[in-house]
Structure 1
Amino acid sequence: MVAMYDKLDCELLNVLQYSWYRSEDNQTENMIVNYKPPSKSWQVGTAFTGRENVTSNGHLTINNVALNDTGKYIVTVETVGETQRATGRLKVIELESEPTISMNSSSLVENVDSVAIFCHTNATKITWHNVSTSVLSSNDRMTISQDGKTLIIHMVDRDDLIFYCSAETYPGLVQRSIAIWLIVYYGPDGMTLKTEPFAYRDVISAEIGSKVDMECSASFSHPQTTYRWFHNDSLMTFSDAKMVFTSLSWYQLGRYRCVAENPVTRLILYKDVKIQLPCECFLPAKPWVDVPRVFTISGTMAVMLIVVTALGGLYLCGILIYLLISHCSTRCLLS
């Protein structure tokens, strides 16, 4: 029905009596109720169904209205020396059922999957809503069909949680569907690997027999991530986030990789760390040995020296020959 409660108004001053009728005339057999404000007394008529009442201001109220309450109503108001009459019509319509909602997918991966949500109703005026926005409209991420009955979300986001539609089945009367929840899987967004002792530049320095802790943690993941460990590129049977060596052994030295994986999104992150003995620089130094100093030159330098020496020798020979020739020429001229 349009409403579970309806009220017909009639209000005047100095009223002696209100009389309400349901019919085309105000005959006694059509009277619903008669109310006298001065004495606050009222009398029911043959048209009274038990759902009607008259307030002190002359309002006729009808609870749990039904389709057969549709019709003409008459009220007569008696004041001092005067009686007035007014008529009105009440129309009761049967409402359609509330709109229902459905979607074409129930398992969605963030930034990968799209989803279509359907509003099932015969109404022509439909609006879409979510928890953060009063009314949705088409944009880069969402498309609403021309008839308004389909909402398409392109590449869902983790904040796309609750949606519902509302339909105006009668002017001014809006009915709302139940809310539908989207299940969006996402992450992990990041991960950390904490160690004890602290890993400096992804290297843990630890003595044999000491305790070593390593713990992986992935953030913002739905569902929760699973973990795998590798030791020197070999998959380990250990699958917890935290690994503890209570007494480090020789075969436990080496490279470790922690892999975090979302089982639905298939997104994988990993961190590497290496466990090694403390640096050799902390071991006792070897005894100092006196090594005699030897002058050495490289092969290239030796070749250069040989070439320079040869050229220098040729240059000196040339000068000597020149001087001898000059000396002989001078003696011949003197003779």
Structure 2
Amino acid sequence: MSTATINGIQQVGIGVKDANEAWKWYRKVFKMDVPIFQDSAEAALMTRYTAGKVEKRHAILAMNMQGGGGFEIWQFTSRTPTGPTKKIAWGDLGILAVKIRCKKIQDTYSFMKSEGVNLLSEPCKNPIGVWHFYLKDPYGNIFEVEENGSWFSSNNDLTGGVSGVVIGVTDTEKSLPLYQEHFQHTEVLFSDTQVWDDFSPLVENDEAFSRVILRSSNQRTGAFGKLLCQTTIELIAVKDSKREKIYDGRLWGDLGFIHVCFDVDGMTNLRTCLQENGFPFTVDSNNGFDMGKAAGHFAYIEDPDGTLVEMVETHKIPIMEKWGWYLNLQKRKKGKTLPDFIVKMLSLNRVKS
């Protein structure tokens, strides 16, 4: 390949105190019930973000097979993870919310209300006319549930996987090129600055926010591009007050949204392009990582405000681990999607709540 291809948001990292407990909740509420891997190991390559010390962790990558990105649920096993020193304010710098796709907003809202979920708002329309609402999980993380038309498959579940992220930045125009050009969310759906009615449940005072909503192409690429579906990135910036970095003074893997991860074909080309544009890899597995039975090449950069962005080029993935069936993606043509029936075989690993 002469250029790199971004195939979608592969997952969002979520730091928790107890990965198995959190995954049980995410299975019940979001149907994130298909594990791609479960792995316990040392995070030897992440010492840049763990105060120079190799920390041990347990990780679960879970997906919803109706489509969308997954959750990479992280738990330190060598230390007690810490939360932010003060309450996170809407507009602080970092990943503020993870977007979750749903089919029918009112049915989804009613289900979550019946389950006792901490709902922060009632369904309403955002500036581009999409029905959505906000909720908070038991661990303090905000999710935005939104009606969505991009799906891989359909069953009776109300929700799918990750449909995007909301990222707090200091300047939307400064952050725009990274996410629009390099991470290929090229379509600008909306851009404006004002006091937003749908943000009112999330802010203490009426503040104006710059708000830019970007969307990826609906052309699916990469082995799992159809599963990952179309996604959006929402950049927001406070106009009249200063905001803090969400992870200031804390470690990668501490409590909260750790990173957003993009699925990549052509990591070497992406590294060159990002470095030439002022975003060098701060962590690079140099074409080799092993997460239990999954393997590939991962790397990190920091966006203009220090938010961690991960990139993964997958080389091997278990389809049915107990049968010894693994898929070697290095032998496939880059950019080509897998047949649907092979992707759907991942459902055989489903864990019921």
TM range (shorter): under 0.3
- TM-score under structure 1 normalisation? 0.18
TM-score (norm 2): 0.17
**Relative contact order (C-alpha < 8 Å, sep 6+): which is higher?**
2
Larger Rg: 1
